[in-house]
Structure 1
Amino acid sequence: MTLQIYQNLIHGKLAKFNEQVPDCFMGWNGDSIQLPDTGTHFGFVYSGHPILQRWTGLQDYKLHPGMYFSLSGAGAVGGENSSGFVVTCPTFKGVFMIGGEIESIGRLSYIDGGTDNVLIPPIMSGDPCLNALYFPPGVDQTIHTHPSYRLIIVVEGSGECETPDGITPLQPGMIIFIPANNLHKFRTQADNLTVVCFHPDSDTGFTHTNHPMLKRTMVAGISAANLPEIQTKSLINRER
């Protein structure tokens, strides 16, 4: 399976690319899309001022270009003259969050001159996350792979994506689907390139024995992280 490019925001399911995951993605462009009551939805606003509707509590939120959100459960997003995309993870129980707009440069070092920001972090290690990647002019990335798929929207600037199958020019508004373990690299010339990228998993984040509340609780000068005998062992069951 090779890299897939979408010139316009459209509806689609990742299953059509033979990924062994139940996730799906949807785009909206001047309309509204319904978000099912199962799982968690990660979204990004590309243009316009859509309304994010949260059926829990019948809450409405006006969004702006460059904003992003995480919504657990049923809702809707969209509106006239607005566009964006949503990735739904039907087996993941996330939290409700709205952020943005995205910053103009990353806070974290990436590779080959690029930087990144974690927009929606994993709640716990292994959970999905949403990121922004920033490439200044003159970047020629080291060719690489990822152990899981990536779904990307080009937000600003221009560049190109190279795979063993060829080179694809990138412009704002394009959607890029990169299958797991697919060789690729990004390149910029005189312009910068900003993309927002969804990861369905992670290998960083908090665990039950590594989080700020636990580690910064001191008992006679010793962190509770180093006192397993007082750590909570049984948790209230909740959907993950």
Structure 2
Amino acid sequence: MQVLSSAGRFAPPDPGEGRRYTEELRVPDLSVGTYCIPVGGEDTQSPHTEDEVYVVAAGRARLTAESGTVDVGPGSVVFVPAGEEHRFTDITEDLTVLVFFGPAEYTRRDA
């Protein structure tokens, strides 16, 4: 067992950065991270080669994807399939999101 004590806690981005991603755990079939975007920050991510599940721990925003748009807030859980273009927009409260990649992030990138 491993306790991920810092997972899901807001950590502001470094100066000049609009977001922060911290990987909390990596095993071959799963990775877990905390994604933080402050009000006024920008989500510039590209589609991933792995499936993702987002669990919003704090904050409010809109998640826009090829398959639709949804408002998210604490407790929201959203699945985004591998390869789908998506990003958080309209961030009205500092956003903290737990991100689960299956398999681990970038595992399929070189496949």
| Rounded Cα–Cα distance in structure 1 between residues aligned with 2:105 and 2:91 | 30
Structure 1 residues 114, 184: closer, same or farther in 2, change over 3 A? same
Q: Aligned Cα RMSD in Å?
A: 2.4
Quote the Cα distance in structure 1 between the aligned partners of 2:94 and 2:72.
Answer: 11
Percent identity, aligned pairs only?
20
Instruction: Tell me which of the two structures has the higher relative contact order, counting C-alpha pairs closer than 8 angstroms and 6 or more residues apart.
Output: 2
Match of 1:174 among 36, 55, 76: 76
Aligned equivalents of 2:100, 2:71: Cα separation in 1: 20
Q: Pick the structure with more strand per residue.
A: 2
Superposed CA offset, 1:7-40 (max 9, x none): xxxxxxxxxxxxxxxxxxxxxxxxxxxxxxxxxx
Aligned to 2:23: 118
Moved segments of 4+, more than 6 Å: none
Any conservation in 1 of the 2:50–2:82 contact (CA below 8 Å)? yes
Residue of structure 2 equivalent to 1:185 = 87
Q: How many angstroms does 1:106 deviate by?
A: 5.8
Relative to the length of structure 1, the TM-score reads 0.38
In the other structure, the counterpart of 1:196 is: 98
SS for the counterpart of 1:97 is coil
- Pick the structure with greater CA Rg: 1
Q: Residues 120 and 143 of structure 1: is their aligned pair in 2 closer, same or farther, counting only changes over 3 Å? A: closer
Q: Compute the TM-score of the two structures, normalised by the length of structure 2.
A: 0.77
Unaligned runs of 5+ in 2: none
Show structure 1 runs of 5+ residues with no match. Answer: 1-95, 205-240
Distance (whole Å) between structure 1 residues aligned to residue 96 and residue 32 of structure 2? 14
Partner of 1:105: 11
Contact persistence 1:149–1:178 (CA under 8 A): yes
Structure richer in helix, relative to its length: 1
